[in-house]
Every structure is written in structure tokens, then in C-alpha cells.
């Protein structure tokens, strides 16, 4: 329950602010601008960060850690064959998935060449064949345009299904061209879309098409995805290397810790493994991205801090002026029994009231600004940048305004509370 003294102090403070509406409005305006700047910068900053992370995930391998069996090890610059090379299996992928964080995606995959023909055409087409578990979809950031990707159970059992990239689907229904130049990017043709549900033949072995990838997923490459066991049966070059494991972390900052856990898992499972297994990440680029994210956050924090500082100084000026004008009132209150803490609470309540009122309007102003600026950015750059508003952003803005009110209202409140009653009554 709120103390009656606190309620009385709050009521007196609000009445005092209402008695000087222009001054209160000017002081509140500083907080409105500060909180508005804080909300807009946080929202736009979060939106730009989400856009940057999507681009990093879609166009780079910075979030992927590859675990590859090494058939050779180096001895004084001479490649020497390894006699005990582990062959990763679906069971290894499942075990690795249990060993690392639940937010990570794990895939077992290998890449080779394939020759494919349709049911109605005897001409064979060359494609890049990717055999892997269902985790390959998340690993490569694949999205579907039509149909579906194969399920984890289908990936483990080696079901005779196939998923085509858009370029592979379009190429299969076009006349054969004797060229090594990839086909131009384009929309999925109706004939290519009709391949979903049809049967293709790889090395004369049938595979049912269950889906076609969207254009954003390896748009210019003729890629074909199959469960690993099914792909091994139809590869034109037997893949040439054992399957590799790959782990995709949810955020690029998690790469270092996840790599440490992967290395511990390899030690527990294979003992001495460093000459037989390679764990690779693009560590230097990961560190650059982490540094860039940190600099961006520090810059945003500095900008918002300056805005709130300006608003806080406005509050302090208003309250100091109020103390000077109301010195006689303060002396009378203390002479009639008011204690220092009562005066202190009264002025702090005034400061918090200004901050709270400013934060409400500031949040609305900040949200309107962030959505307007993000729309302008999309219009000028065609980049899908959107303001990202979360409850934490609103909570931070309101909490920051209250802290600013308490911080900058403390000195005027202490100054008022320490006035001697007799000196205050006689001061004009």
C-alpha cells in the first residue's frame, strides 16, 4: 500500500506543476525529445541489426561450423594418408545435436555430381547433388517456393525423394544447351512448377520431386537435394569424400562457445582427433562481425544517452527555479512540522511526474519516428529494413526516464530539504 505521506507529496507536486503549465511543458518537452530519441534509435537500431543478421545468415557461412574427416595429415609439408579416418553417420549427427545447444541446427551432408533426366526426355542434365539430412535446409537457409522439403525421418531413412533449386527445375524443362554458363535468374516457369509430384531419373533410378526452392535459395545454381543414403545410390562420382557434419548457431556471437563444445564432443567420442578431423570456422570474420555489432550498440547508446542528458538538465533547471520561487513556502511547511524527508519526497515526486508524463508522449513520438524513418529507408534503398519494437524497448525507455527524473531531481530536492525554516521564511 502506498504511504499517505507519499500520496500527499505527490498531490502537492502535481498541483505545483499545474500552477506553472508553461514551465512544466518546456521541461516535459525535453524528456519527450529524449525518450522519443531513445525509442526511435533503439527501434531502428534493432531493425537494422535484424536485417544485418538476416543478410549474414543468408549470404555467408559465418554461423556455420564444419566438422570434416581428414583423409590426409601434413608431415613436413608432405600429405600423408590417414589410416583411421572416422566416417560420420546419421547417429553422429543426432549425438552432436544432443551435445550442443538446442538452438543449433546440425546436418550431415556431402556434395557431388549427378546426371538426371525427366520422364519424357532422354537427354541427361548435369546437376550438383547435395545429399544430407533434413538439417541441410536450415544450414543453407533454404526456403520453399512450391511443395516441401523432406522431413527428418525421410532424411534418416534415405527416402527416394528430391528437392530442386529453381534453376535446376527451370533447366530440366528447357532445351539442352551446350554451355557451361549458368541459366539466367528468372521466375519459376509453369512447366517447371509441374515437376512437383513427378518422377526424375538419376542414373536411371527414380526419385519423386516433392519441392522446389525459392529464387533466394541458390538462385543461379542447378542444385538437387536428397536424403544422404538416397543420394549415395545415384551420385555420378561417388561423392569422392566422406560426409561432413555442420552445425549452424543461432547467432554469430555463439560460434566460439559452440566450437568449444564441439571439440569436447569429439574428444569424448574419438579421443585424439586433431590429426583426423578438422573443425573449421571463419573465425577472423566472426570476430570482425562481433566487433562491428559492439561498436554499433555503443554508438546507439551514446546517442540516446546525450538525448536523455539534455532532458534531465531541463528538469533540474525547472526544479531549481521552483526551489528559489518557493523558498518561503518551504520554510512555512518546515516550521509547521514538515520534515526534511517530506520536502525531499515532494520535489522528487515532481521530477518523476515530469519524467513519467514526458515518457508517455516520448514513446509515441519515438515509435512514429522509427516507423517513418524505416519506411523512408525501404523506399530509398529497397532493403527490407523495418523498425523492431519489443516490450524491452518500451520498458527501457520508461525506466530510463524515471531514473533521469530521480537523478536530476535529487539535487534540487536536497537543496530544498536542507533549507533552514527561519532563513527560508525571511527570504523573499
pLDDT at residue number 199: 92
Q: How confident is the model at residue 211 (pLDDT cuts 50, 70, 90)?
A: very high
C-alpha cell at position 169: 527445375
How far does the chain reach from its first CA to its final CA, in angstroms? Answer: 39
pLDDT at residue number 162: 95
Which burial class, exposed, middle or buried, applies to 136 when counting CB atoms under 10 A from its CB (0-12, 13-18, 19+)? buried
Q: Is the pLDDT of residue 84 over 70?
A: yes
Pair 397, 366: CB distance under 8 Å: yes
Q: Is the pLDDT of residue 234 over 80?
A: yes
- Residue among 192, 147, 190 nearest 172 (CA): 192
C-alpha cell at position 402: 524515471
Q: Which residues, at least 6 apart from 9, have a Cβ–Cβ distance to it below 8 Å?
A: 342, 345, 346, 349
Q: Is the pLDDT of residue 61 over 90?
A: no
Q: Which residues, at least 6 apart from 208, have a Cβ–Cβ distance to it below 8 Å?
A: 160, 161, 162, 197, 198, 199
Pair 62, 282: CB distance under 8 Å: yes
C-alpha cell at position 10: 505527490
pLDDT, tens digit, 9 for 90 and up, residues 250-300: 887 788 888 889 888 888 888 888 778 888 887 667 677 777 777 877 777
* Average pLDDT of the residues of the chain: 79
**Strand 161-164 versus strand 205-213 pairing type:** parallel
Could you tell me which residue, 202 or 382, shows the higher pLDDT? 202
Pair 99, 260: CB distance under 8 Å: no
**Strand 277-280 versus strand 223-226 pairing type:** unpaired
pTM of the model: 0.65
pLDDT, tens digit, 9 for 90 and up, residues 169-208: 888 887 655 554 454 456 788 888 888 999 999 988 999 9
Amino acid at each position: 500500500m502506498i504511504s499517505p505521506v507519499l500520496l500527499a507529496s505527490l498531490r502537492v507536486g502535481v498541483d505545483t506543476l499545474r500552477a506553472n503549465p508553461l514551465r512544466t511543458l518546456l521541461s516535459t518537452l525535453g524528456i519527450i525529445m529524449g525518450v522519443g530519441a531513445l525509442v526511435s534509435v533503439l527501434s531502428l537500431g534493432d531493425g537494422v541489426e535484424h536485417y544485418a543478421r538476416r543478410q549474414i545468415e543468408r549470404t555467408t557461412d559465418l554461423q556455420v561450423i564444419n566438422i570434416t574427416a581428414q583423409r590426409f595429415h601434413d608431415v613436413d609439408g608432405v600429405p600423408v594418408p590417414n589410416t583411421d579416418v572416422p566416417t560420420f553417420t546419421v547417429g553422429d549427427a543426432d549425438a552432436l545435436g544432443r551435445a550442443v545447444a538446442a538452438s543449433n541446427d546440425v546436418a550431415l551432408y556431402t556434395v557431388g555430381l549427378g546426371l538426371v533426366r525427366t520422364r519424357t526426355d532422354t537427354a541427361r542434365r548435369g546437376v550438383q547433388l547435395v545429399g544430407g539430412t533434413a538439417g541441410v535446409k536450415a544450414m543453407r537457409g533454404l526456403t520453399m517456393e512450391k511443395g516441401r522439403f523432406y522431413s527428418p525421418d525421410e532424411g534418416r531413412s534415405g527416402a527416394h525423394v528430391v528437392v530442386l533449386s529453381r534453376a535446376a527445375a527451370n533447366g530440366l524443362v528447357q532445351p539442352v544447351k551446350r554451355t557451361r554458363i549458368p541459366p539466367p535468374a528468372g521466375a519459376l516457369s509453369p512447366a517447371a512448377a509441374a515437376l512437383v509430384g513427378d518422377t526424375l531419373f538419376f542414373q536411371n533410378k527414380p526419385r519423386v520431386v516433392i519441392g522446389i526452392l525459392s529464387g533466394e535459395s541458390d538462385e543461379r545454381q542447378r542444385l538437387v537435394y536428397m536424403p544422404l543414403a538416397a543420394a549415395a545410390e545415384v551420385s555420378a562420382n561417388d561423392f569422392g569424400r566422406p560426409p561432413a557434419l555442420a552445425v549452424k548457431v543461432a547467432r554469430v556471437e555463439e560460434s566460439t562457445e559452440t566450437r568449444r563444445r564441439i571439440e569436447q564432443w569429439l574428444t569424448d567420442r574419438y579421443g585424439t582427433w586433431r590429426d583426423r578431423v578438422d573443425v573449421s570456422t571463419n573465425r577472423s570474420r566472426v570476430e570482425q562481425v562481433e566487433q562491428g555489432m559492439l561498436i554499433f550498440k555503443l554508438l546507439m547508446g551514446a546517442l540516446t544517452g546525450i538525448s536523455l542528458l539534455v532532458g534531465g538538465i531541463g528538469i533540474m533547471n525547472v526544479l531549481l527555479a521552483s526551489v528559489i520561487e518557493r523558498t518561503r513556502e518551504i520554510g512555512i511547511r518546515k516550521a509547521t512540522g514538515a520534515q526534511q524527508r517530506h520536502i525531499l519526497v515532494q520535489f522528487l515526486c515532481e521530477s518523476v511526474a515530469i519524467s513519467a508524463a514526458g515518457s508517455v508522449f516520448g514513446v509515441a513520438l519515438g515509435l512514429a519516428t522509427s516507423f517513418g524513418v524505416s519506411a523512408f529507408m525501404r523506399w530509398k534503398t529497397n532493403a527490407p529494413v523495418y523498425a523492431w519494437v519489443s516490450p524491452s524497448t518500451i520498458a527501457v525507455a520508461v525506466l530510463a526516464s524515471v531514473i533521469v527524473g530521480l537523478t536530476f531531481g535529487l539535487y534540487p530536492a536536497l537543496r530544498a530539504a536542507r533549507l533552514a525554516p527561519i532563513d527560508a521564511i525571511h527570504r523573499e
